[in-house]
Structure 1
Amino acid sequence: MLFNFIKPTVIFAIVGLIIPGFTAIGLLGLQMLLNYFGVKCPTAWTIIWTTTSIAGLILPFLFCRYITRLTVDKLQSLKTRLTLFNLFEYMFIQSSLTPLFISGKTLCHGHGGQNGLELVFTAWLALPILILFSFVFNRIFKPTNFYTKK
């Protein structure tokens, strides 16, 4: 195995324990941007959850396609691409899992001082999923054009 996807992802997961608030702020900023363009808050969350769910389902397939077609020349960029995959998939999973725990209406007009804590909780739930993806990537990774003339 030329590249181990698990080690960089575990390092990302350790950082991911600390950064769910930052990604939650990014999602809240996206919701506020949609509000600025006239989309009501609960509808904005529905749009965000729908698009991130679709993106979260598509991105692993695109990354699998990328790593199965990877040549040895481009092997240097794999760690950077894995980090980007982890970051985006982390945010997509974080956002996609949120409606399982709270509605857009409650998130926008919530009570009890817990408004948005679900985003942090779902970010932590995303970490084991990312590590699972890394195990899958390790199994399918076979760089093409690897063998050189002797």
Structure 2
Amino acid sequence: MATSTDPQDATSAAGAEKLGFDREMVVQEFGYDDDVDHDLRSAIEDITGTDLVDEDYDDVTDGVIVWYRDGEDDLTDLLVDVQTVLDDGGAIWVLTPKPGRDGHVGHNDIQEAASTAGLHVTSTFSIARDWSATKLGTRGRGR
């Protein structure tokens, strides 16, 4: 079995495992741009065994990753949009630049957008060299 000696590859692979995706899951990606962590993307695809699908995908998905930077379109609207084809119980991850990096988004901004979109923040952690991951959950229905 071949192994990488690049510590960034190991960090991205470990980060991808924390997202909780499994083999054959369909993961939709929003906000792709040149600055995304390509090692993390590859690690997610390795775990699922499938390519990430883009914003135009219109079938049911098992999870979503959103690359989001300060100054982009409204996060609340985006979070409403990502839920349209997401299977019940599917994971939503907002990936933002870490503090001190261009495009950093404050935790309070994510929390406010999530709440307005009917979601709530469940956890946040460092996922790659320049990116943090925030998991969003759906609010229980009928509570």
TM-score (normalizing by structure 1) = 0.27
Which structure exhibits the higher relative contact order, with contacts defined as CA atoms closer than 8 Å and separated by 6 or more residues? Answer: 1
Greater gyration radius: 1
**TM (normalized to structure 2)?**
0.28
Select the structure that is richer in strand.
2
Name the structure where helix makes up a greater proportion of residues. 1
